[in-house]
Structure 1
């Protein structure tokens, strides 16, 4: 019989291993000293300097736009792909392999292949005109759709088809059933898939480095260039704000999921 005390110790140790570095980063973002490992008093000045840094603010705005657009596109594509994988006919195995390929493929390969694709397309049809915001959105939506498909497919498999059949028996057409019955039932999965794609896009630096152009550096690219010269308190403050943003999105997703489960109870 396993000891409950030992299990609690293991759980606490696991959480400390995962979240202690994040907690220390948040604490030192309020450090008055420029030395990130020496505490010299509480201060908010690094947040003020962060908000007055045009390079970081511009990169953050680009990352948020890219993440929002790519996550939305990835969710739509993931929903359509999941619908075909769960309820489609022949060719589902081929589509499943194509969808899951980006999940196991190194990001360097994805970034390089997309770069070559964009260069070839520009030479053949003149689009896209160079690398920039559009190419980053397309690249992030491409690999984000694979993750969104997995999340939405897992939820779609568990849906009760009898409800949709009943709606069709009452006179609703296929589109009406999809938008009024299927999509509301998929709401928690859609929110989770969007958040996952948003987080992956906001975090990516490898693929964006291949497909970004002048004036379209994302926030991770700027942070990576700064960290190479040494960690500054501004980076800690920026990371803290990102943690707060992601935590709020996760809480929203949890709230949507909780509301979705209420009628079933």
Structure 2
């Protein structure tokens, strides 16, 4: 048992080193004074100042945040509806097809998804005149399409683990379907909604392939800009930008974990009383 415990600890340590050592190196080199990324020139905040003076990067970051926020919000709404239909409506005609449509974006290569959406937008523009060209709208539609699949899976999993007696008790007390959803079901699946929103936000903010297919001139997202810069050589500004993104994501994850723990404690107290 002691050898097994030591082996598990060593494996976990090596796994964490493999995952986080590159991130730590990136953060350290974001404070590098030298213009050459691989040459250490001392500690400095120079590149953070250069980053905030770079209007191209700032505009791309704001555009990506805007797209990610809208896409994640729409994905939560649509994904929650899909998850409720699959978990609460029992068997109905077309359920298998709907389930396949929802899970398809999870396993579909991003190249295929981006190309198919591009062809769809071109065909719609020729037939209906909308969308007129590619831009923010087409990126939001594309990101919402594949992000809602993740939300639907998370919500469906959460709903399958809920205690049905709480909803049945509310219905026995005269709660209407709308009141039942907003006052009982929605608070119970709130952790899943937060997790789904954060996951969708991260996927949208990180997407490069699909956005490259459905974006147009003047609508360069942050991943597209970073990729174009990295192809010419890693810039210290990119390290500074990545460090800020890591910090923001880490704060978001910590906040979500704390909220989920709080919700779990409240649920346990309610069940005990």
What interval of TM-score do these two structures reach, taking the shorter chain for normalisation? Answer: over 0.9
Query: Deviation per CA, 1:118-157, whole angstroms, max 9, x where unpaired?
Result: 1111111111111000100000000001111111111110
Match of 2:215 among 189, 212, 215: 212
Instruction: Determine the structure 1 residue equivalent to 2:201.
Output: 198
- Report the more deviating stretch, 127-136 or 219-228: 127-136
TM-score, length basis structure 2: 0.95
Instruction: Determine the structure 1 residue equivalent to 2:27.
Output: 26
- State how many pairs are aligned: 265
TM-score, length basis structure 1: 0.98
Distance in 2 of aligned mates of 1:107 and 1:236: 26
Distance in 2 of aligned mates of 1:55 and 1:242: 17
Instruction: Determine the structure 2 residue equivalent to 1:39.
Output: 40
SS of structure 2 residue aligned to 1:3:
helix
The correspondence of residues 59-208 of structure 1 with structure 2, limited to 5 A, is 59-88=60-89, 89-90=91-92, 91-208=94-211
Aligned-pair CA distance for 1:199? 0.4
Query: Deviation per CA, 1:194-243, whole angstroms, max 9, x where unpaired?
Result: 00010000000000000001111100000000000000110000000110
Distance in 2 of aligned mates of 1:13 and 1:239: 23
Cα RMSD of the aligned pairs, angstroms, is 0.9
Distance in 1 of aligned mates of 2:70 and 2:241: 22
Moved over 3 A (4+): none
Distance in 2 of aligned mates of 1:252 and 1:95: 33
Instruction: Determine the structure 1 residue equivalent to 2:242.
Output: 239
Unaligned runs of 5+ in 1: none
SS of structure 2 residue aligned to 1:262:
helix
Unaligned runs of 5+ in 2: none
SS of structure 2 residue aligned to 1:30:
coil
